[in-house]
Amino acid sequence: MATIMQLYKTPPHGEHGDGGMDDYKKKLFHHRAGRGIRFLVCVVVVLVVLLGLWLWSRNRTYTGYEVVSSTEHSSTVNTQYAEYGGYLLRYSRDGISCVDSREEAVWSQTYNMQYPILDICGSSAAVADRQGNEAYIFGEDGLKSQITTRLPIQQISVSSQGVTALLLDGGSLSWIYLYDREGNVLAESRCSLDETGQPLSISISQDGTKLAVSYLQVHNGAAASCIVFYNFGSVGNNFVDKIVSSKIYEGTVIPRVEYLSGTVCAAMSSHGLIYYEGAEIPEETASVEIQAEILSVFFGDSCVGIITEEEQLPSLEESEADAGGTDGTDGEGGRFQVNLYSTEGKPLLSERTSLEYTQAKISGGMLILFGEEDCEIYSMQGVLKYAGSFGTGMADLYKAKGFQRYTAVFSDRTDTIKLR
């Protein structure tokens, strides 16, 4: 019988071959796991660094500034200024001009007005002569229409589309006219003290479809206010005189109404704030009672600011004491109380200041107060980013494009500054 010789030994199945494969797979797994862990660690480190930088930037305060650029200009004593879509509007009795940060004209228009009043909404701006008969409507590229009225103009309100409302004084009668962007009459309403009351304030919504009017009335021998909402869209056609909502407030005067967006309107009364909301039929949604005497009211895109003297308002620090409070730096000191409220009437910021301000505004998400030469800049978290003096009379101050950059307007020049 033939003999089969075994040339080499074959290890039992799985003893070495599969074991080597298992070792390889284990090493590959550990290698990939190690890379994954190192990647996650790097991601966590980067996120921690970014969070730290964000917190540092958010809470950082500045003690000085540097002038990045400066441009000389000449202005009259009566020149006024307003922000306009990243540009600056300069208007006076003789005309209005839109300039960039280098004082280069984007557009301009001459006129002759005794008391020019301005309203801005989005890319539209409107200027009118209070107690005069002329109004001009502008877009991003300049003049869109000119309106001439037979009765003296009391107030003007413009929407982002250029639809404009004018309140006209007719003596015993007042009139409200609505114009399209080309200056054509869209609607008119007659107002008398006996029928509707005396209109005190008007405001058109950003989309140009709704108009809020505050009327002064007399009820039971005492002053009262009536807030009326007109709808000029298809919904308004189903209501008499296009009045879709109204409410009477006895014993109070509401001297101002202001649309904050296409659906939210705020009314400033002698007792506080009243909020209304509705895409078609606005209704009262919230109110804020204010006990102290109101010195100033200003409006941002999504908030309302109120300044009072001597705090009688419940501060945001007190209402959030259990949650750790805010970053307010002025604490108990300060003659003036500054409170910001959201479009829902909720407190956003509460600060005390001693600055003898001439103007307060929301610009670029910052609260800015400035006086003749001094200014204070707060973040919306209540951090006092900068407090200082420019050493000369200031006409305007607003947030510019760029990190911690601002535009300071003086009578003879415009400076772009960077806080440091």
**Residue 354 belongs to some domain of the structure:** yes
Q: Environment class of residue 243 by beta-carbon count within 10 Å: exposed (0-12), middle (13-18) or buried (19+)?
A: middle
Higher pLDDT, residue 327 or 261: 261
**Residue 378 belongs to some domain of the structure:** yes
φ/ψ of residue 146, rounded to 5: -125, 135
Q: Residue 3's pLDDT is what? A: 55
Instruction: Tally the domains of the chain.
Output: 1
Whether the CB-CB separation of 36 and 30 falls below 8 Å is answered with no
Segments forming the whole domain that contains residue 370: 291-420
Distance (Å, rounded) from C-alpha 211 to C-alpha 228? Answer: 8
Which pair of structure tokens corresponds to residue 71? 């441009």
What pLDDT, in 10s, does the model give residues 376-399? Answer: 999 998 999 999 999 888 899 999
Give the chain's length. 420
pTM, to two decimals:
0.81
**Residue 321 belongs to some domain of the structure:** yes
The average confidence (pLDDT) of the chain is 86
Mean predicted confidence (pLDDT) in 298-305: 90
Distance (Å, rounded) from C-alpha 130 to C-alpha 153? Answer: 5
Mean predicted confidence (pLDDT) in 60-74: 90
**Residue 252 belongs to some domain of the structure:** no
Q: Residue 18's pLDDT is what? A: 59
**Residue 379 belongs to some domain of the structure:** yes
**Residue 59 belongs to some domain of the structure:** no
Across the strands, what pairs with 370? 359, 375
Per-residue pLDDT at 345 exceeds 60? yes
Q: Looking at residue 24, what DSSP letter applies?
A: H
Distance (Å, rounded) from C-alpha 363 to C-alpha 112? Answer: 30
What pLDDT, in 10s, does the model give residues 222-254? Answer: 899 999 999 999 999 999 999 999 999 999 999
